[in-house]
Amino acid sequence: MAEQEFTLLEKWRGTAYSNQMTKQQSDMFWGNYFNIEKGIYQQILSTPDEVVTGTVKELAERFGTDLMIMVGFLDGINDSLTTPNPIEEMTEDTTVSLCYDKELLYKNMVEARAEWLYTLEEWNPLITEERRAELYKEQKRAHTVVKGEKIGRNDPCPCGSGKKYKKCCGR
């Protein structure tokens, strides 16, 4: 029987989210990953006008990291790109682009609670401090549930029938 081939993304996720790791191993793995991720973001944010492109393997070499770490990075940044990469089926020879939307990337970092990324000083020349504060609030508000005013049983029915709510839609 043929052995199942896994895509790079499946291999990355299988490793990164493995339940075979102890808590200590997981903490070490993610601590290392976040440190490398921070370094890559510092590089790409410091040259915002340069659109970084290349094969997955070339980008791993360019940023001095392991192929699987680069796959994880591409998985993380994909939702912030102007044109998402084909991460589901990419190979090490797939050409990818890191052309990102600055504000969307910032908001996604806030969404991920990645304070070590959205507080990087490389953001300073890209987005004003005031705008970053607005984006932060927008992102946090996006998940705040606001309940509408409750209809009392003796209030007029909101459907417009003229009946009391309890005699109409409130049954």
* 162: region left, alpha or beta (phi > 0 left; psi from -120 to 50 alpha): left
Lowest mean pLDDT among 40-44, 49-53, 100-104, 141-145: 141-145
Q: Name the token pair of 164.
A: 């009391």
76 closest CA partner among 41, 127, 51: 41
Residue 93 pLDDT more than 80? yes
pLDDT at 88: 94
Rounded Cα distance, 83 and 70, in Å: 18
pLDDT band at 144 (very low <50, low <70, confident <90, very high): low
Q: Name the token pair of 103.
A: 């504000």
Instruction: Report yes or no: 80 and 100 within 8 Å, Cβ to Cβ.
Output: yes
pLDDT band at 145 (very low <50, low <70, confident <90, very high): low
Residue 1 pLDDT more than 60? no
Residue 169 pLDDT more than 80? yes
Residue 65 pLDDT more than 90? yes
The model's pLDDT over 34-62, given as tens digits with 9 standing for 90+, comes to 999 999 999 999 999 899 999 999 999 99
Q: Name the token pair of 20.
A: 């075979």
Residue 143 pLDDT more than 80? no
pLDDT band at 157 (very low <50, low <70, confident <90, very high): confident
How large a percentage of the chain has pLDDT more than 90? 73
Q: What is the CA radius of gyration of the chain?
A: 23
pLDDT at 155: 86
Is the pTM higher than 0.85? no
- What is the three-state SS of the chain? CCCCCCCHHHHHHHHHCCCCCCHHHHHHHHHHHHHHHHHHHHHHHHCCCCCCEEEHHHHHHHCCCCHHHHHHHHHHHHHHECCCCCCCCCCCCCEEECCECHHHHHHHHHHCCCHHHHCCHHHCCCCCHHHHHHHHHHHHHCCCCCCCCCCCCCCECCCCCCCEHHHCCCC
Interval 162-170 mean pLDDT = 86
Q: Name the token pair of 158.
A: 């909101």
More confident residue, 3 or 54: 54
Rounded Cα distance, 27 and 36, in Å: 14
